[in-house]
Structure 1
Amino acid sequence: MKAIEAGVVQYAGQRAETANQAVSLPIWLLLVGNLLMGTSLWLIAAGGMAAKLILLGFWIAMLCAYARPVRIALGLLAGSLALAGLIGVIATGNGATIEKLRLIGNLLMLPVGLLGGLVIGWDSLRVMMPVLAVYLLLSSSFQMTHEGMRLNQPFLFLGLFALCSVARWRGNGLLAVGSALAVLLSQTRIAVLAMLVNLIGMIRFSRAMTWLVGMAALAVAGWFAMSHLPRLFLTHGSGRLAFWRDFWGMWQGGSVGQRWLGFGAGSVEEILSGYQSFASFGALHNDHFRMLFETGIIGAMLWTTGWIVMLWTVRHARLAVCILLSVMLTMVTDNTLNYGHYLICCGIAAGIAAREGPHHG
């Protein structure tokens, strides 16, 4: 009887291993992928939609090429319906067509990255990580602000850190430390907090050495931050609260249709452009509130449903959950939906962590 049980367990393990076998991408596709990702990154500075179209188009094409037939689970069905419903609300609502397309593209970034990590696995890192590391090395610089010197591109470094958290390459630890240090030097508080949430998913709390080394490292990092990075501990909101109060008043004073279906894609930037401080502030700096304002109560409910489905899908892997939660956190005080490369990186990392299972965190 025990022999039969052992055989069943062994067979089940073999089936799981076969189902979870990673995709091995041909070398030509890796080269093309790096070329396209590099082009997309360098086009960021030019503005417009070209950079995101290349980014999103490539990963959708990869999914179409390597996706296998899957059983339509309840979670997948619910997520697809929520995304389709939200796209429908945006497409049929107010706003210019270009703004609708931009918002829909931004919404697709994280789920497409998540599916890419789940379907392709570790080889997706070989497409994204090398060119991202080279780009950051060549284009990053310190910028003088009224709050001191800050390293630019904190969210790209944060995306690189997310990718490093699931990579298993030699020397990956040094790259992770370098990207973490860059996030600290950016003095972007929400990015640092998101990195700490990601880090929680990486730590194995059952090991005594984790506590000994971790407490010492945390103390050193805290001392360094307090001594040299004072902006991280400032409590001002950079004017966000005043804008949020204004927009909350507008939303409450809107018509019934506007409260339920929103003011339309691009309405936030259109309204903000009338403020004298628009040039320095730029956007609402709260994507969750932005979705409520532009897509209404129905859109906000679909937005929340999508997040619940994604978290439920990766619930078995603590690291994957933490990566997604870190993205949700950045959306509280920043315009994360506009950072397509960061969203793709975090989606890929969360997908790989979920694919590999609980031993990733």
Structure 2
Amino acid sequence: MKAIETGAAYYAGQGPGADSQAVSLPIWLVLAGNLLMGASLWLIAAGGMAAKLILLGFWIAMLCAYARPVRITSDLLAGSLVLSGLIGVIATGNGANLEKLRLIGNLLMLPVGLLVGLVIGRDSLRVMIPVLVLYLLLSSSFQMTHEGMRLNQPFLFLGLFALCSVARWRGCRLLAAGSALAVLLSQTRIAVLAMLVNLLGMIRFSRAMTWLVGSVALAVAGWFAMSHLPRLFLTHGSGRLAFWQDFWGMWQGGPAGQRWLGFGAGSVEEILSGYQSFASFGALHNDHFRMLFESGTIGAMLWVAGWIVMLWTVRHARLAVCILLSVMLTMVTDNTLNYGHYLICCGIAAGIAAREGPHHG
């Protein structure tokens, strides 16, 4: 009970140092969590909602079990109201019920992960990291594309990097370096940029050794990328700009009701399915614009307000802010809302960093 009250107090912004009294999960729950997370990861390839339902259901159950003493704070109240408003706009808008449920579930991933990190703390890493490492070792492979060989699953590696950035296990820095290398080998530019933003939160710029080692490491990484990862420096947009212009024209030309309340959940994919290049492009690759298009001006304002509340909640911890900003960045050119496991990982990492305060490291 004391650990839970400490987590609640820290969420209210009462200061760092709560990690020493963080929730300690029983070993049977850690093992059960690993089994469920493993099942969720392996169901990704099957598609559908099963993988996300397991993922979200487990962590919501954990919050219900451990967060009962959490008192209502202004941050929690504001976040709940904004999220409820956005869910209400989506639920009452156009679109199939299944698409509404899918979008609502996607929206819950990051805030649920953030609460898990804030309330449960470091022990949540024991549930996520081991099974994620095992899954990536067994399922990752290089794939030939028209731009050369690329390692798959960049966002799962990016999520692992975020978790490692707040871990204190022996060898966690080595694991972080391995996941960083995997992100580089994926040659996914937005993932690499997001990783660098996350890295900015980890670095202690006041140390002279940081500048010395960092300069050498950056030079070596830059040389390696330029020599062996040419895709990272290409400037093409893979056709995204043309699609964004089309959808912007549709949104501007729509009736006032749709501009305010959106075209409905799932409307982006429904419209894109009529494009000849849909099979290769797949989605809009801009979640911020997608929220404007599907939930309208009101939904977009609530979307922005939600980000402001989350960033304000963790404002005292630079690493937590950087992790959330890295997620925002990926949403500019990718479909990050669909990557539930990545969002949960980043939410947990940001929550842990915020729980430990500005002196994490």
Deviations 1:170-213 (A, max 9, x none): 01111000000000000000000000000000000000000000
Deviations 1:265-316 (A, max 9, x none): 0000000000000000000000000000000000000000000000000000
Secondary structure at the aligned position of 2:143 is classed as: strand
Secondary structure at the aligned position of 1:143 is classed as: strand
Question: By how many angstroms is 1:68 displaced?
Answer: 3.8
Deviations 1:107-138 (A, max 9, x none): 00000000000011110000000000000000
Name the residue aligned to 1:62: 62
Following the alignment from structure 1 to structure 2, what is the Cα–Cα distance between the partners of residues 322 and 168? 19
Following the alignment from structure 2 to structure 1, what is the Cα–Cα distance between the partners of residues 335 and 16? 39
Question: By how many angstroms is 1:69 displaced?
Answer: 2.3
Name the residue aligned to 2:285: 285
Name the residue aligned to 1:10: none
- State yes or no: 1:129 paired with 2:123: no
Deviations 1:66-115 (A, max 9, x none): 00423322221111100000000000000000000000000000000000
Following the alignment from structure 1 to structure 2, what is the Cα–Cα distance between the partners of residues 196 and 161? 11
Moved more, 74-83 or 314-323: 74-83
Name the residue aligned to 2:5: none
Name the residue aligned to 1:262: 262
The 1:42/1:18 distance shift into structure 2, 3 A limit, reads closer
- State yes or no: 1:179 paired with 2:179: yes
Name the residue aligned to 2:320: 320
- Contact persistence 1:320–1:349 (CA under 8 A): yes
Following the alignment from structure 2 to structure 1, what is the Cα–Cα distance between the partners of residues 292 and 24? 41
Following the alignment from structure 2 to structure 1, what is the Cα–Cα distance between the partners of residues 19 and 166? 20
Within 5 Å, give how 1:79-90 maps onto structure 2. 79-90=79-90
Query: In the alignment, residue 277 of structure 1 is paired with which amino acid?
Result: S
Following the alignment from structure 1 to structure 2, what is the Cα–Cα distance between the partners of residues 226 and 99? 41
Query: In the alignment, residue 258 of structure 2 is paired with which amino acid?
Result: Q
Following the alignment from structure 2 to structure 1, what is the Cα–Cα distance between the partners of residues 190 and 30? 33
The 1:280/1:327 distance shift into structure 2, 3 A limit, reads same
Question: By how many angstroms is 1:16 displaced?
Answer: 7.1
Query: In the alignment, residue 359 of structure 2 is paired with which amino acid?
Result: H
Following the alignment from structure 1 to structure 2, what is the Cα–Cα distance between the partners of residues 340 and 129? 15
Following the alignment from structure 1 to structure 2, what is the Cα–Cα distance between the partners of residues 81 and 36? 30
Question: By how many angstroms is 1:15 displaced?
Answer: 9.9
Q: Which has the larger radius of gyration?
A: 1
Name the residue aligned to 1:114: 114
Question: By how many angstroms is 1:18 displaced?
Answer: 6.5
- Contact persistence 1:20–1:355 (CA under 8 A): no
Within 5 Å, give how 1:194-273 maps onto structure 2. 194-273=194-273
Following the alignment from structure 2 to structure 1, what is the Cα–Cα distance between the partners of residues 43 and 17? 40
Secondary structure at the aligned position of 2:70 is classed as: coil
Q: TM-score, normalised by structure 1?
A: 0.95
Runs of 4+ in 1 over 3 A off after TM superposition: 14-20
Provide the alpha-carbon RMSD of the alignment. Answer: 1.3
Following the alignment from structure 1 to structure 2, what is the Cα–Cα distance between the partners of residues 47 and 236? 29
Q: TM-score, normalised by structure 2?
A: 0.95
Following the alignment from structure 1 to structure 2, what is the Cα–Cα distance between the partners of residues 46 and 216? 43
The 1:140/1:90 distance shift into structure 2, 3 A limit, reads same
Secondary structure at the aligned position of 1:358 is classed as: coil
- Contact persistence 2:112–2:344 (CA under 8 A): yes
- State yes or no: 1:46 paired with 2:46: yes
Following the alignment from structure 1 to structure 2, what is the Cα–Cα distance between the partners of residues 208 and 182? 28
- Contact persistence 2:79–2:310 (CA under 8 A): yes
Name the residue aligned to 1:192: 192
Query: In the alignment, residue 347 of structure 1 is paired with which amino acid?
Result: G
Name the residue aligned to 1:28: 28
Secondary structure at the aligned position of 2:32 is classed as: helix
The 1:298/1:72 distance shift into structure 2, 3 A limit, reads same
